């Protein structure tokens, strides 16, 4: 008597259980994280479906948050995930991250620290390194543009007032707002954050370019130097 062949691929599942068909019939919110990831992976490996591989990926990396943090090499370490699949997954995550950022175009007036946080949080929350940005504003506190000043571990030597305010002067900015992320997820400013902010505020006062705020962005929360009353102007 012949041995019965066991089929592991999603193609052999009932249509109602296949991730892609289920998404088309019920919408994306009806799928689990593993099922959504399986649609991106498309196929699994020998004796494991795309859903099973996806479950392994999420388990190994620590869920969606871990998936967002990981690099291509970590994804490829899971059997059944090659560079092409890893690239597709990272591209999809990046698109989702960008779509969450609310529009903050030139001319938008900044009315509160919350407005800035809601715009920049999606892009900064899952970064493994610190990034320091400056938002340049006109006299009515409308956005001229923003720029990345530095990336990596922030130190007083990396974020220098000269570089920051050269951009501000070039754009004829009347005011600036600084923001950076804490990869740990805890937005509590460090002592160096306080020293750096004081230094930037002092430089701005000398140049007549007012520092309106410095936001430290964490995971789902932030700290505003202005809201806390920590900005000390000298002019």
Domain map of the chain by residue range?
Answer: 10-100, 113-228
User: What is the CATH class of 113-228?
Assistant: alpha beta
pLDDT in tens, the chain (235 residues): 455 544 556 666 776 678 999 999 999 999 999 999 999 999 999 889 999 999 999 999 999 988 988 999 999 999 999 999 999 999 999 888 777 665 566 788 889 999 999 888 888 877 888 999 999 999 999 999 999 998 887 555 578 898 889 999 999 999 999 999 998 899 999 999 999 999 999 999 999 999 999 999 998 899 999 999 999 887 6
What is the structure's pLDDT at 229?
A: 97
Question: What pTM, to 2 d.p., does this model score?
Answer: 0.67
CATH of 10-100, one of 1.20.120, 1.10.150, 1.10.3470, 1.10.10: 1.10.150
DSSP string, the chain: -PPPPPP-SGGGS-GGGSHHHHHHHH-GGGS-HHHHHHHHH---BTTB-HHHHHHHHHHHHTHHHHHHH--HHHHHTSTT--HHHHHHHHHHHHHHHHHHSPP--TT-B---HHHHHHHHHHHHTT-SS-EEEEEEE-TTSBEEEEEEEEESS--TTTS-HHHHHHHHHHTT-SEEEEEEE-TTS--PPPHHHHHHHHHHHHHHHHHT-EEEEEEEE-SS-EEEHHHHT------
């Amino acid at each position: 008597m012949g041995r019965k062949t066991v089929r592991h691929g999603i193609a052999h599942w009932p249509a109602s259980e296949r991730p892609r068909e289920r998404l088309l019939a019920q919408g994306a919110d009806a799928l689990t994280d593993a099922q959504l990831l399986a649609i991106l992976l498309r196929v699994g490996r020998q004796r494991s479906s795309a859903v099973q591989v996806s479950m392994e990926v999420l388990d190994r990396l620590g869920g969606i948050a871990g998936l967002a943090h990981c690099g291509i090499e970590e994804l490829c370490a899971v059997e059944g995930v090659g560079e092409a699949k890893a690239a597709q997954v990272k591209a999809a995550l990046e698109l989702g991250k960008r779509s969450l950022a609310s529009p903050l175009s030139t001319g938008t007036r900044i009315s509160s620290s919350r407005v800035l946080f809601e715009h920049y949080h999606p892009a900064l929350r899952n970064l493994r390194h610190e990034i320091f940005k400056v938002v340049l504003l006109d006299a009515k506190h409308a956005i001229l543009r923003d720029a990345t000043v530095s990336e990596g571990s922030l130190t007083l030597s990396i974020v220098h007032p000269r570089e920051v305010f050269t951009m501000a002067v070039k754009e004829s900015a009347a005011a600036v707002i600084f923001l950076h992320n804490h990869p740990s997820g805890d937005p509590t400013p460090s002592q160096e954050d306080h020293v750096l902010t004081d230094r930037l505020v002092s430089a701005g006062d000398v140049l007549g370019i007012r520092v309106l705020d410095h936001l430290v962005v964490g995971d789902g929360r932030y700290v505003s130097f202005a809201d806390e009353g920590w900005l000390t102007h000298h002019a």
